[in-house]
Amino acid sequence: MLLPQPTLIETSKLKTHPNNPRYIRKDKMEALKRSIAEDPKLMTAKPLMVNTDMVVFAGNQRLRACIELGWDKVPCNVLDWTEEEQERAMLKDNGHHGEWDTDMLANGSYNLEQLQDWGVPIDWDKPEPEEDKPNEPKPCKHCDKMIP
C-alpha cells in the first residue's frame, strides 16, 4: 500500500490530537527542534499524519517543534482513516521496539555529544535487564504465606 505524497499544509490549519497520550519535556523539545532544524528533509521523509479534519494523529510533538521554529507549513499525509486506525497509528508511531547496539555506537565514528544531540540515550553504564524469569514465590515477612 503506497501512501500519498506529502502535502505542505499551513500550521495554523492543523490541530493537535486531543487524546494524544504523549508529552515532551522541555529539554527533549529543544533536542527535537535542533534535530528538525539540522535535518529538515526528514520532515518530508516522515511527514505528519493528519485526518481529513486536519487533526494530527501522528507527529504532534514534531508539529509543536516546527511551530516553535517558525515554520508556516509542514509536510503532511492527509489520510481518510477510521478512528481505530488513527488511534493505532498514534500509538505505534511512537513505539520504539529496537535496542541500540552500544558497542557499535561506542566504537563507531560518533561522539557522545553528537549522539545525545540526536536523541540517542546514553545510559551504557546501566546493567542489561535480566531475561524475563517467572517470579518465584516468596514468604511474606509478616506471616508465613507464600506470595507469588
- Residues β-bridged to residue 16: 56
| pTM reported for the whole predicted model | 0.73
Angle separating helix axes 60-68 and 26-38, nearest 10 degrees: 70
Query: CB of 108 within 8 A of CB of 102?
Result: no
Strand duo 48-50 + 7-10: pairing: unpaired
Q: Which three cell numbers stand for residue 102?
A: 552500544
The pLDDT of residue 97 is: 64
Q: What local confidence, expressed as pLDDT, does residue 86 receive?
A: 95
CATH for 7-95 (1.10.3720.10, 3.30.1330.10, 3.40.1350.10, 3.90.1530.10): 3.90.1530.10
User: Contact, 89 vs 51, CB < 8 A?
Assistant: no
**Mind listing the pLDDT tens digit for each residue in 56-66?**
999 999 999 99
End-to-end CA distance of the chain: 47
C-alpha cell, 47:
511527514
Q: What is the DSSP secondary-structure string of 113-136? A: HHHHHTT----TTSPPPPPP-PPP
